[in-house]
Amino acid sequence: MSAFNLETCARPNILALEPYRCARDDYKDDGTNILLDANENAYGPSIAAASSLRDAESGELQPKLDLLGLHRYPDPHQTELKQLFCSYRNTHAHTPKILTPDCMFVGVGSDEAIDALLRCFCIPGKDRILVCPPTYGMYSVSAQVNDVGLVKVPLLPAPTFGLNVKKVLETLSTEQNIKLVYLCSPGNPTGTLLDKADIRQVLEHPTWNGVVVLDEAYIDFSSDDASLAEWVLEWPNLVVMQTLSKAFGMAGIRLGAAFTSAPIARLLNNFKSPYNISGPTSALAAHALSPAGLAVMRANRARIFEQRARLLAELPRIPGVGRLRGGVDSNFLLFEMLNTQGEPDNAVALAVYEKLAGSRGVVVRFRGKEHGCLGCLRITVGTEQEVTRFLAALEQTLAEVRGLAPPPDEDAKEAKAQAVVD
């Protein structure tokens, strides 16, 4: 069993916090009430009627929007949206128990949950968090913003990139004031799913009083039962973060979710901004989690899987591309770029990254400075057309960078461009 005790782990000021309340916390609006409680503009939003919204280029009418509710503050509790998340994650792959909305926090992307947990549990200038590089950079950024210390226990070497359980447990036993452990699964930039048994060992630490935060932003690119969201019903010190930005293709609405025990969820909901999720965001998220939305997500995901397999097959055939360094449980791949001696090389990888973006309009991510990622580029899986263009651009760029082929003649390039214009 875990040594977790919420009353001594969370900050006392957060435990004692009286949350902001509005009249609609007490009186649910059924659509017939006269709402004179929140100083809203009863005449409606300053936007033209939906029927007059036309595309600037085509002149075609855009899909009709329901603008009726924009002049009202959104639901502060988002119970219906939370239930959709719960219904999606109630697979019973990890527990027979059932997730309910009181086990959830929804925020502006996963980043709000990352920050909220720090403010909930970590006293500035005193407490610390543990991260396992290479990992998502916002954990350390948010820690620095909140004046919270950082302890690093690197993942096991590539290509495994597994959790160094022995070192993590030892660190939690010997280092003082570590309140949170941020784990990314599948990892970013590794693409590797962490072992469930390893996570369990951290949760079961016999003396550490803290919270394990499992970031599952890419979980829908793994197996259908990979998510440990249900596990928050078994472990009171577990938080599982998810997002609609990745598999659901809804990055623009900035909607993230955190599954956790009801007591932790209550604390997070108590001190969040009263109306942190906008009405349009909530409506779009609800559609994405509806049966129709899930069908679209799964169809698009299947296309991503096809292109991921294509990249795995074709990238190693390109001279100068090295090993896959990580897993395949995400919508990106981490590959080495090699010098002419066949060694992973940051100078080569950085030059390829810059030339791809600057000369060929193909933007990937240089990750060579992260732990265990020497000479690596992180490549997001795109559409079939984007992958075709990327593969051709990468082969040509690698040849140029490695000095195995002369750069394209500038006069010829200019003549070709002019011919296209003409």
Alpha-carbon gap, residue 168 to 164, rounded angstroms: 6
Threshold 0.85, pTM exceeds: yes
CA–CA separation, 251 and 244 (whole Å):
7
From the list 288, 200, 198, the residue with the least C-alpha distance to 243 is: 288
Domains detected in the chain: 6-38+73-289 (3.40.640.10), 295-421 (3.90.1150.10)
Q: What is the pLDDT along the chain (422 residues), one digit of tens a residue?
A: 788 999 999 999 989 988 877 766 666 666 678 777 777 777 777 776 544 555 556 555 444 445 557 888 898 999 999 999 999 999 999 999 999 999 999 999 999 999 999 999 999 999 999 999 999 999 999 999 999 999 999 999 999 999 999 999 999 999 999 999 999 999 999 999 999 999 999 999 999 999 999 999 999 999 989 999 999 999 999 999 999 999 999 999 999 999 999 999 999 999 999 899 999 999 999 999 999 999 999 999 999 999 999 999 999 999 999 999 999 999 999 999 999 999 999 999 999 999 999 999 999 999 999 999 999 999 999 999 999 999 999 999 999 999 865 445 544 444 443 433 33
Measure the CA–CA gap between 346 and 373, rounded to whole angstroms.
9
Residues 130 and 396: their CA atoms lie apart, in Å, by 41
The CA–CA distances, whole Å, from 224 to 92, 184, 219, 287 equal 11, 18, 9, 20
